[in-house]
Amino acid sequence: MAEQSVVLEQVEAGIYRLLVNRPQALNALNAATLAALDQEIAAVAADSAARVLLLSGGGEKAFVAGADIAEMQSLDATQAAAFSQAGMRVMHALEALPVPVIALVNGYALGGGCELALACDWIIASERAVFGQPEVNLGIPPGFGGTQRLLRRVGRARAMELVTTGRQVRAEEALAIGLVTQVVPPTALMETGLAAARSIAAKGTLAVKLAKQAVQRGADLDLANACAYETAQFALAFATADQKEGMRAFLEKRPARFSGS
């Protein structure tokens, strides 16, 4: 039986891991892998018990080394648009997940792989991680949202430099420019991701979802409207059992037992 190109597993209660599993191709994103990612992301979205998603790549060399060039090279413009749209659907689906998504990057995250990591809420990188948008070396620009998400992550000038030169960025520089939030030894990558996931899973479930929505929505609004949206999210939380339990537990000096309702 052929190996699955994408594997979804529940690591612990509420914590999922989504693995791009084509190590022989450095986990390159072809059409079939994009379709599989779309399907598994939908499965996480449909699970009301989900709390966090960790996203990683199989093997030692790459998170995702890029889109599959062998598949792309013969596309015409119409086919290329469809391929770009398939990639965009995956990235939008990741962003739209109600729970936090953390990319765990070990090795190469180039082209479509960098774009996949950027669609996650934040990135934890191993010391071996390498990021970049090298599409200009192939005669094309990024096509899965890289120009836009990189711009929002590291700023206009840095994004312009990286997408027009195709320069690769190693882990420590990625940390310095705000592309990643943490750099750890390769052997500590998964445990660091799990520790973050466990911390999130222990918090008020609906509060985490409301906070994520506020950050995402507010990024595209002016400050006054963004703050008004935050007020609406804040007020909505007071209609939940989790708010009552969280504040009661604080006053009673005990751990909260959140139900997600």
The answer to whether 16 and 101 have CB atoms below 8 angstroms apart is: no
- For residue 41, give both structure tokens: 């992301």
CATH 3.20.20.70 for domain 205-251, yes or no, is: no
The pTM of the full predicted model, rounded to 2 decimals, is: 0.95
The answer to whether 179 and 169 have CB atoms below 8 angstroms apart is: yes
pLDDT in single tens digits along all 261 residues of the chain? 357 999 999 999 999 999 999 999 999 999 999 999 999 999 999 999 999 999 999 999 999 999 999 999 999 999 999 999 999 999 999 999 999 999 999 999 999 999 999 999 999 999 999 999 999 999 999 999 999 999 999 999 999 999 999 999 999 999 999 999 999 999 999 999 999 999 999 999 999 999 999 999 999 999 999 999 999 999 999 999 999 999 999 999 999 999 988
> Comparing C-alpha atoms, which of 50, 43, 44, 40 is closest to residue 200?
50
Residue 135 annotated among the catalytic residues of the structure: yes
Give the active site residue among 115, 161, 172, 173. Answer: 115
The residue ranges of every structural domain in the chain are 6-201, 205-251
The answer to whether 196 and 147 have CB atoms below 8 angstroms apart is: no
For helices 77-96 and 31-46, the axis angle rounded to 10 degrees is 20
> Comparing C-alpha atoms, which of 139, 171, 175, 130 is closest to residue 154?
175
Backbone angles phi, psi at 97, to 5 degrees: -55, 135
Give the active site residue among 127, 135, 245, 252. Answer: 135
* Pairing, β 15-20 against β 6-12: antiparallel
CATH code of the domain occupying 6-201: 3.90.226.10
Residue 3 annotated among the catalytic residues of the structure: no
